[in-house]
Amino acid sequence: MNKIFFAGLVCSCTALTSATSLADYKNPLLSAEMRAEDLLTRMTLTEKVGQMCQYVGIEHIKKSEKYLTLEEMQSGDAHGMYPNLHSSKMPDLIRRGEIGSFLHVVDPKEANQLQQYASESRMGIPLIIGIDAIHGNGLVNGSTIYPSPLTMASSWNLDLVRQANIETAIEMRANGAQWTFTPNIDIARDPRWGRVGETFGEDTFLVSEMGVAVIEGLQQGDFIGDQKVLANAKHFVAGGEPINGLNLSPMDVSLRSLKQDHFPPFKRAVDAGVFSFMAAHNEVNGVPAHANRFLFTEVLREDWGFEGFVVSDWMDIERLNGLHRVAENQTEAVYQAVDAGLDMHMHGPNFLKPLVNLVKQGRISEARINAAVKPILIAKFRLGLFEKAQVNADAASDIMFNANHQQTALELARQGIVLLKNDQLLPLAAGQKIFVTGPNANNHTLMGDWVFKQPEENIITVVEGLKAVAKPSTSIDYFDLGEQIKTLDPKLFVEAAERAKAADVAIVVVGSNALRYDRKGKTAGENVARSTINLYGEQLALVQAIHASGTPTVVVLINSRPLAEPWLVDNVDALIEAWEPGALGGQALAEIIFGEVNPSGKLPITIPRSVGHLQAIYNHKPSTYVRRYVDAPTKNLYEFGDGLSYTEFTYSRPTLSASRITEDESTRLSVTVTNSGDRAGDEVVQLYIRDNVSRVTRPVKELKGFQRIHLKAKQSQKITFDITPDTLAYYDLDMNWRVEPGTFTLMVGSSSRKSDLKKITLKVKP
């Protein structure tokens, strides 16, 4: 026998013997499920409940203790503090096995220290560290900041969204985090709501597809290994349609709407293998989501077969008593939440003791505790934390914001920026004198929410992008009138207009500010709702002053919610919806303005004419617009799916492989798309259906498919969509999911606008 082979065989056998002599939960050769089962048998009740407890990071608490008043810490959802538990006492809690998870840990050295404390506990169970890596690991300094989710959705590019999240997982793991609280798959139907930019828009189908792409990128299947992280489907459910636009406000919604509108993205998430859910802040039909057994036990686990764990949102178990008034005290709140199906408490000390006492009193069974803790342990085993909880803190800076990640962020921005109007002004020719101004022209608002301050050199602002991309013969005159939307000085508008007169083109960059660290300047983001949805403050007056100079004007919107300004649509020469295009957004925007990139983004959300026009969604019911407003046009400013290009795309008349099918049969729709212009470009081909007659009213159109394609000038491509029973089915009069016989109109085109769609009829026989 070869000596080298024999030596290797001996080593392998020795390792196998060593592994099999371990306690089962320490044996890496066993499945995560088997290891978790073994570990549960060895844990005390307190240690089990400890796994259900999450706290904010110690360094985060120290900053809150040092810089904020008690009132400030209690008034928002961004700062962690425990009045009766000083940060210095927390290491002992970890060593006693009373903490299973942390969030708001943004330094790998702190993550390592916390894991070291956990390794000193009796069972040595590692922590799972969660973070809000919503579009990149933005709470960590030096991370790649990708475009916001709403901007991602505007790309309609699932592969690119998936890749951005693969990269986000890599940067997270490098910094010691293994769990991100994303995707937000709420259906955003109220632009007053501050969190619209954190979602993928208004449509159930598009949100579902985007959510699955995020989950696939983050978890990559079973999330085994050290380059993957847990995804989190949130907020379950219906948080994106608050009754008054304010975060946390109530939601009354029919079971039919829950099943056909709000549930599907979450069901798709379960089917995609998402391993954690987060409860919504809101109440649903009078029952707070955090105490809603129907949602978390009957629907999520019993109907859908979810096998992961459910975490509360920030302090929302406490709100069952303090806000919703459905629980008399914290113990009763804990009982209601855990009995409903909540498995982990975010965050703080007011959970472990009440829950332990509830078990001892027999109100909560230990079997329920085991059911909550087992998937938490399985996650830790699959992530490899029992073998390697520590990270190389010195290596993180080399992994973050690397060239490949930058390229993905740049390409997502290029594809997510939407050209809404262009009166033959764009792209700009070389050699022109360009005047640039506006509060968002040279600041970091293009990063969006869920981001802390990033290195200046990592962020390309609009002005910086224009200067970098412009040809040497083009001059850029930037007028700085302040970077704060709320404090614009109208006195400066006169000077701005005078300088605009001397230019060939004026670019005005306005919008909103969702920067998490700019507490006083924010006009959007979590818990920042608005009563109107026009340009905040004096921004419209600024645009009007520049426009009055007579210089052709381009308006760029950097914002996280639809902004309703009919004057812009009616008067400016070009309008660009850039949303929040991320760290390299300034470069992507400049490339589009100068024609180096052909714009291709499409709106994932409707832009209404005013706040009074809400609710404004493309998939409305037939009776929605039977009547008209007396004081304003009834139509929207821009429709779902809208977006212009520098070229033209034409669609053939669609055809069907079979125009008559039975309820359980499928057919295939085909259409030929031609780039009839003179330059290459990308088009998003969109498929909609309408059930012409149904016992229960259905929307005038519903998105059922899309494909993003690239065509050279004069090139054509045949596109096909499979029309399956699921494409046509709905919940009938008896709430059964089925295809009703009858006639369906199938529509395909470049947007949801009627004039942009080609139609064909499909008949379904009994």
Between CA 695 and CA 605 the distance in angstroms is 28
Burial 360-397 (b: 16+ CB within 10 A, else e): eeebbeeebbbebbbbbbbbbbbbbbbeebebebeebe
Residue range 106-162, pLDDT digits in tens = 999 999 999 999 999 999 999 999 999 999 999 999 999 999 999 999 999 999 999
Residue range 454-485, pLDDT digits in tens = 999 999 999 999 999 999 999 999 999 999 99
Residue range 677-713, pLDDT digits in tens = 999 999 999 999 999 999 999 999 999 999 999 999 9
Between CA 279 and CA 318 the distance in angstroms is 13
User: What pLDDT score was predicted for residue 60?
Assistant: 85
User: What pLDDT score was predicted for residue 6?
Assistant: 46
Computed over its alpha carbons, how large is the radius of gyration of the chain? 27
When pLDDT is averaged across residues 352-365 and rounded to a whole number, the result is 98
Residue among 222, 312, 218, 204 at smallest CA distance from 266: 204
User: Helical H runs in 594-706?
Assistant: none
When pLDDT is averaged across residues 28-48 and rounded to a whole number, the result is 97
User: What pLDDT score was predicted for residue 32?
Assistant: 97
User: What pLDDT score was predicted for residue 10?
Assistant: 44
12 backbone dihedrals φ, ψ, rounded to 5°: -65, -45
37 backbone dihedrals φ, ψ, rounded to 5°: -60, -45
When pLDDT is averaged across residues 740-751 and rounded to a whole number, the result is 98
Q: Report the CATH architecture of 49-397.
A: Alpha-Beta Barrel (3.20)
Percent of the chain with pLDDT over 70: 95
User: What pLDDT score was predicted for residue 66?
Assistant: 62
Residue range 553-590, pLDDT digits in tens = 999 999 999 999 999 999 999 999 999 999 999 999 99
Residue 13 has pLDDT above 70, yes or no: no
When pLDDT is averaged across residues 42-48 and rounded to a whole number, the result is 98
Q: What is the DSSP string of 196-219?
A: GGGS--S-HHHHHHHHHHHHHHHH
Alpha-carbon distances of 444 from 365, 513, 588, 757, rounded to whole Å: 50, 9, 15, 38
Give the CATH class of 416-613.
alpha beta
When pLDDT is averaged across residues 540-564 and rounded to a whole number, the result is 98
Residue 53 has pLDDT above 50, yes or no: yes
Residue 18 has pLDDT above 60, yes or no: no
Structure tokens at 235: 């907020």
User: What pLDDT score was predicted for residue 79?
Assistant: 60
Structure tokens at 434: 């360009």
Say if residues 254 and 201 touch (Cβ distance below 8 Å): no
Between CA 547 and CA 437 the distance in angstroms is 12
Residue among 347, 313, 355 at smallest CA distance from 330: 355
Residue keyed to tokens 């977006």: 643
Between CA 532 and CA 536 the distance in angstroms is 9
User: What pLDDT score was predicted for residue 72?
Assistant: 54
Q: What is the DSSP string of 215-239?
A: HHHHHTTT--SSS--B--EEEETTT
| Local confidence band at 87 (pLDDT 50, 70, 90 cut-offs) | confident
User: What pLDDT score was predicted for residue 22?
Assistant: 83
298 backbone dihedrals φ, ψ, rounded to 5°: -70, -50
Strands 101-103 vs 128-131: parallel, antiparallel or unpaired: parallel
User: Could you tell me the pTM of the whole model?
Assistant: 0.95
Say if residues 506 and 571 touch (Cβ distance below 8 Å): no
| Local confidence band at 17 (pLDDT 50, 70, 90 cut-offs) | very low
What does the domain layout of the chain look like in residue ranges? 49-397, 416-613, 649-765
Alpha-carbon distances of 181 from 313, 440, 592, rounded to whole Å: 10, 28, 32
CA atoms within a 13 Å half-sphere pointing along the CA-CB vector of 123? 28
Residue among 449, 319, 373, 343 at smallest CA distance from 125: 373
pLDDT, mean over the chain = 94
Strands 433-437 vs 475-478: parallel, antiparallel or unpaired: parallel
- CATH code, 649-765: 2.60.40.10
Say if residues 577 and 421 touch (Cβ distance below 8 Å): no
| Local confidence band at 85 (pLDDT 50, 70, 90 cut-offs) | confident
- Mention every residue, 6+ apart, whose C-beta is less than 8 A from residue 6: none
Between CA 207 and CA 198 the distance in angstroms is 11
When pLDDT is averaged across residues 303-315 and rounded to a whole number, the result is 97
Between CA 699 and CA 739 the distance in angstroms is 15
Residue 78 has pLDDT above 80, yes or no: no
For the chain, what is the total number of helices (H) and then of strands (E)?
Answer: 25, 27
Residue range 214-272, pLDDT digits in tens = 999 999 999 999 999 999 999 999 999 999 999 989 999 999 999 999 999 999 999 99
